[in-house]
Amino acid sequence: MRIEGSYRFDAPPERVWAVLQDPAALAACIPGCQTLEPVAEHEFAATLSVGVAAFKGTYNGRVRVAELDPPHRYDLHVEGSGRTGFVKGVGHISLEPDGGSATQVKVVGDAQVGGPVLSVASRLVVPTAKMLMNQFFAAMQRWLRASPM
């Protein structure tokens, strides 16, 4: 499954970068994130309660940041599994200045989703993944707006 998205932040790349790497921001903005514990440098153990409408599940997994090239690009590796399925994927995230004071964040993600949920509801997986990604970046945009310069 390939998903793509593009998000505009009203801040220069350096600031956006800092927020995107901030564990507190991540914990607050990852949809359904219940716990986010650092387990190594750039790596977290996470418990997520995610889903859509009544289709909710609890997933345990890991989030790892790699290939850091601040403030231009990094890879976000996500791996998780729950009772109804599992996901393993990587998002290639790049930050590009947009004018002087804004940043375009582009995401190209490639994820493997599996388990019973894929078998019985594959048509909802891509739109749900997109929705969760949109929710994440929308929350990040709000976080950035709300956090002091």
Partner 1 sequence: MAVATPTKAFGAAIKRREDPRFITGKGQYTDDVRLLNMATMAILRSPYGHARITRIDVESARRAPGVLAVYTGKDIQSVAPSMPCAWLIPNSDLKTPNYPPLAVDRVRYFGEGVAMVVAENGYQAKDALDLIEVDYEPLPAVVDQEQAVQEGAPQLHDDVPHNLAFTWHIAGGDADAAIRDADVVIRQRFINQRLLPTAIETRGAVADFNQATGDLTIWLTSQNPHIHRLLISLVLGIPEHKIRVIARDVGGGFGSKIPLYAGEVLAIIASRDLGRPVRWSEERSENYVATTHGRDHIQDVELAANRDGRITGLRVKAWASLGAYLSTAAPGVPTWLFGLILSGCYDIPNADCTVYGVFTNKTPTDAYRGAGRPEATYLIERMVDLLAAELKLDPAEVRRKNFIPADKFPYTVANGGLTYDSGNYQGTLDKALELVDYQALRREQEEARRQGRMMGIGFSTYVEVCGLAPSAAAGAMGFQGGLWESATVRVHPTGKVVVLTGTSPHGQGEETAFAQIVADELGVDVNDVEVVHGDTAQIQYGMGTYGSRTAVVGGAAIAVACQKVREKALKIAAHMMEVAPEDVEWADGRFRVKGAPETSKTIADVALHSYLAWSMPQGVTPGLEEGHFYDPSNNVFPFGCHICVVEIDRDTGDVAIKRYVAVDDCGPVINPMLVDGQLHGGIAQGIAQALFEEAVYDENGQLLTGTMMDYAVPKAADLPKFELARTVTPSPHNPLGIKGIGEAGTIAASPAVVNAVVDALSPLGIKHIDMPLKPEKVWRAIEQASR
Partner 2 sequence: MYPAPFRYHAPRSLDEAIRLLAEHGDEAKILAGGHSLLPAMRLRLAQPKVLVDIGRVPDLSGIRLDGGTLVIGAMTTHREIERSSAVKERCPLLAEVAPHIGDVQVRHRGTIGGSLAHADPASDWPAAILALDAGLKVIGPNGERTIPARDFFVDVLTTALAPDEVLAEIRIPRPGRAGAYEKARNRASGFAVVGVAVAAEQQDGKVASIGIGITGAAGRPARAEAAEQVLLGRPASPDTLSEAAAQAAVGLDCTPDLHASAEYRRHLVQILTRRALSRALGV
Q: Point out which residues bind partner 2 (CB under 8 A).
A: 52-57, 83-84, 116-117, 120-124, 126-128, 130-131, 134
Q: CA triplet 93, 65, 110: central angle to 5 degrees?
A: 50
The CB-of-82 to partner 2 minimum distance in angstroms stands at: 11
The CB-of-18 to partner 2 minimum distance in angstroms stands at: 29
Amino acid at 84: T
Nearer to partner 1, 24 or 120 (CB): 120
Nearer to partner 2, 16 or 33 (CB): 33
- Residue 128 contacts which entry, partner 1, partner 2, none (Cβ below 5-8 A, type-dependent): partner 2
- Residue 127 contacts which entry, partner 2, partner 1, none (Cβ below 5-8 A, type-dependent): partner 2
**What are the CA-CA distances from residue 98 to residues 12, 13, 103, 105, 127 (Å)?**
8, 9, 5, 10, 27
Alpha carbon dihedral 11, 138, 85, 27, in 10-degree steps, equals 60
- Residue 66 contacts which entry, partner 2, partner 1, none (Cβ below 5-8 A, type-dependent): none
The CB-of-89 to partner 2 minimum distance in angstroms stands at: 16
Distance CA 72, CA 1 (A): 24
